Amino acid sequence: MPMRTMLVAATLLAVGALLGGLALPVPADEKKSAPAFTPAERAERTLHRRAVEAVIWGMPAVNYDFMYQAAVRDAKAGAGSNKIVYWSRLSDWKNQTLTPNPDAVYFMPFFDTKDVGPVVLDIPPADEGGSITGSVMDCWQAALEDVGPAGVDKGKGGKYLILPPGYKEKVPEGYIAMPSDNFQGYALVRSILQTGDDAGVARAVAYARRVKLYPLSQAHNPPETIFVDASDVVFEANISYDSRFFESLDRMVQREPWLTRDKAMIDALKSIGIAKGKPYRPDEATRRILNAAADEAHAWLDLKYQTMFSPYYDGRRWALPMSAELIEGLQTQFSNPDSYPVEGRGVVYTMAFFSPKRSGAGSFYLMAIKDRQGQPFDGGSAYRLTVPANAPVRQYWSATVYDRATHGLIRNLPRSSRSSQTPGLEKNADGSVDVYFGPKAPANKESNWVPTKAGGQFEVLFRFYGPEKPLFDKTWKLSDIEKIE
């Protein structure tokens, strides 16, 4: 071997020995050791950690279950599914779902195919009586299909057929098939107001009561659809961030099949006591850990919520409250093998429910949590939103205030929103509209005022129903909300 080669080899061996086999001395004050936990402490820490991840992962299913339980308990719908819960008036604060729309008539068909097989959701055609904007979702709130003018039926009406997991039989002619990997789910059906007065609300309710829900096995002689009015009850569907969250999650695990994408959670849930086919009976010590874990997960998701707002318009505070990656996942059953935005999904379903199959077809939303100066909205201060003239909507726009802490309508207030259909809403000379938010109405502006409550923060969701091109190409821009007192 040439001398030069031998010297290079010897040098490399020496360096390798120094770096790999000969440890350099470390000063005593730089030595660190892992905390000394007992086996019991390590088990508690693992339980806590896995429970936090279970909250983030399980949020949309628990969100669904809390709504279903409210339907059974508060609306007195009773056990069993395949019923339609609705509000016969515009919703007030008693509708404690997450960011509900108080300017639309809500109908919520809950379905379960496990015992009855395929279920028919019969949507009436849009006509002089009204129209529907809505979507059908599985219990993970991923879209199955849109209905109404923005859906498959294109306003002609149609029989949507919700199929249970693994359904192999031929779908009868005349039905719009919606295969689902889950048994349970619901539809959010908004009956669109033609006018915002009492007569307009009554017409919208009468139109949506033409919706039918029944098992396919009874299609030859459909039973009368059961409608349950929730208008006069406190519909408590806000999520509980304590051990009750895991009771709800257990109900969903017991009832639904495991999806391939979620099998990594099977062992993690077993470690906190949730396992398919086994009773869920946490002891008091475990409940204390679960309470703390749910609270920590809530705090983490709220922090992520505050930081996920990327402006829809350059230099303004309005944002689309959902990432493009999550929208794609919810609309495709997370079919992208390289994407599964569980954390983003968890964040969204702490503050909302529902997902459409097609973005921007029937409705579009922008959220603001800060004023023009970048400060959080304070319920004790006064603000103004100027909605420019010629808002790009075929139907209507609305601005709604929610409690920042719960994402529900602020309790015990007379109203929560103003819309372009609000009776008596005043316009400016140029066609724009000023909407005011605050604990008291500005002088001579009560018709354009949305009350807030001192002592807490709020957020504002702006809805566009029947959105049009100027919204998406941003030739029409929504103004920031400005503090005036």
**pLDDT class for 78, splitting at 50, 70, 90?**
confident
- Which 3-state string (H, E, C) describes the chain? CCHHHHHHHHHHHHHHHHHHHCCCCCCHHHCCCCCCCCHHHHHHHHHHHHHHHHHHHHHHHHHHHHHHHHHHHCCCCCCCCCEEEECCCCCCCCEECCCCCCCCEEEEEEEECCCCCCEEEEECCCECCECEEEEEEECCCCEEEEECCCCCCCCCCEEEEEECCCCCCCCCCCEEEEECCCCEEEEEEEECCCCCCHHHHHHHHHHHCCCEEEEHHHCCCCCCCCEEECCCCCEECCCCCCHHHHHHHHHHHHHCCCCHHHCCHHHHHHCCCCCCCCCCCCCHHHHHHHHHHHHHHHHHHHHHHHHCCCECCCCCCCECCCCHHHHHHHHHCCCCCCCCCHHHHHHHCCCCCCCCCCCCCCEEEEEECECCCCCEEECCCCEEEEECCCCCEEEEEEEEEEECCCCCCCCCCCCCEEECCCCCCCCCCCCCEEEEEECCCCCCCHHHEEECCCCCEEEEEEEEEEECHHHHCCCCCCCCCEECC
Whole-prediction pTM value? Answer: 0.90
pLDDT tens for 235-251 read 999 999 999 999 999 99
Average pLDDT over residues 306-326: 91
| 263, pLDDT greater than 90 | yes
Average pLDDT, integer, range 343-361:
93
Q: What is the pLDDT of residue 1?
A: 44
On average, the pLDDT of the chain sits at 92
Say whether pLDDT at 103 is over 90: yes
Reply yes or no on whether the pLDDT at 15 is more than 60.
no
67: pLDDT strictly greater than 50 = yes
256-260, 317-321, 386-390: segment of lowest average pLDDT: 317-321
Residues of the chain with pLDDT > 90, as a percent, come to 87
Q: What is the pLDDT confidence band of residue 3, given thresholds at 50, 70 and 90?
A: very low
Query: What pLDDT is stored for residue 35 in this prediction?
Result: 73
Q: Which of 428, 421, 379, 424 is nearest to 398 (CA)?
A: 421
Name the pLDDT band for 133 (thresholds 50, 70, 90): very high
pLDDT in tens, 383-401: 999 999 999 999 999 999 9
Residue 79 confidence (pLDDT): 77
